[in-house]
Copies of this chain bind each other. A is one copy, B any other.
Amino acid sequence: MSFKEKFKEGIITAKDFSREDIDYILQKGKEMIHNNKKADVLKGKILATLFFEPSTRTRLSFESAMYRLGGNVIGFHTGDVSSTKKGESIADTIRTVENYSDGIVIRHNLEGAARLAAKFAKIPIINAGSGSGEHPTQALLDLLTIIQEGHKLDGLNIGIMGDLKYGRTVHSLSILLSNYEANIYFISPKDLMLRKRDKDYLQQRQVKYKEIEKYRDILNILDILYVTRIQKERFADIEEYDRVKDFYVFTKKDMAETNDNFKIMHPLPRIKEISAEIDDSPKSIYFKQAYYGIPMRKAILAELLSN
């Protein structure tokens, strides 16, 4: 079964990806870098971007990728300016918007939103972040970044740090990595450790991982440190947020402890968990990550939406 056929309902969860699927779409992403020949591959196609939660980079990244392939974009950006304010269900929104477009990118504060949308839609749905659940296309572009910046996924020593409880990019990334022989160090304050269900999944997949609170001890063995923001909007309790928000600040001094091939990543936006003083280091590749978002999403859109 081809990738296009397997994912004809869209990209909902990283769990749907086999190692073969990942390798295939990463290869397609790689081919999209510096490739302007495919500029008309989605000419006449329309992508709908339905962002029930605020977003800059994910939305603009998808829109840019769509335009780079010759397509067009419609959509709305928050729940406020849409019929959902009038009380409409996700199912109804989807069954309406699918008449206006060839594919739908959806971000929603509820974990099951993308899955629900796919259940009702006749066109592909792309999950662009579902609550504290998943963000699979971010994880794909993260992997593309890692391999393009010189590392292999098998044998990779990666630290994933920050809000592991609510961080959806972290969940999708560790699920994708479960297809490779990676060693994962989950670094977080106790309150923000990976949820049991996420750990159960990784254990079942025999992933080698450790949970730690301090990153300094392992800096010299890491290939990648993947830092995430503590997301204020996920905390029901503001005091819980205040207790952990400044738990990690990666500095120039930390960078000095790292290996030559070490790279530090971040899905952005960053608040202050990575000090701006290391922005110019060749080891800091978080803006390159944003760059790789375009070829990766071009590959995904071309795969799902082209004839």
Identify the A interface with B (CB < 8 A): 36, 39, 44, 46, 48, 54-57, 60-61, 63-64, 67-68, 72, 74-78, 80-89, 91-93, 95-97, 99-101, 229, 231-233, 268-271, 276, 287, 290-291, 293-294
Contact = CB atoms under 8 A, between A and B. Distances in A.
Nearest to A58: B83
A96 B48 CA distance: 22
Contacts of A86: 54, 229, 231-233, 269, 271
Given A99-B287, A270-B92, A84 B56 contact: yes
Contacts of A39: 44
A269 B87 contact: yes
Contact of A83 (B92, B268, B294): B268
Given A77-B76, A271-B86, A44 B54 contact: no
Contacts of A85: 54
Contacts of A92: 268-270
A54 B83 contact: yes
Contacts of A60: 48, 74-76, 97, 100
Nearest to A71: B67
Contact of A269 (B55, B88, B271): B88
Given A95-B287, A268-B92, A293-B99, A64 B57 contact: no
B56 A63 contact: no
Contacts of A87: 269, 271
Contacts of A68: 44, 46
19 contacts: A54-B81, A54-B82, A56-B82, A56-B83, A56-B88, A56-B97, A57-B96, A57-B97, A60-B74, A60-B97, A60-B100, A64-B100, A78-B81, A83-B269, A87-B269, A92-B268, A92-B270, A93-B269, A96-B287
A74 B81 contact: no
A189 B188 CA distance: 59
Contacts of A78: 80-81
Contacts of A268: 83, 88, 92, 96
A141 to B, nearest CB: 11
A63 B44 CA distance: 13
Contacts of A83: 54-57, 268-269
Nearest to A287: B95
A19 B140 CA distance: 51
Contacts of A48: 60
Given A46-B68, A54-B80, A99-B291, 14 more contacts: A46-B64, A55-B83, A56-B88, A56-B97, A78-B80, A83-B268, A83-B269, A86-B229, A91-B276, A92-B268, A96-B268, A99-B287, A100-B290, A100-B294
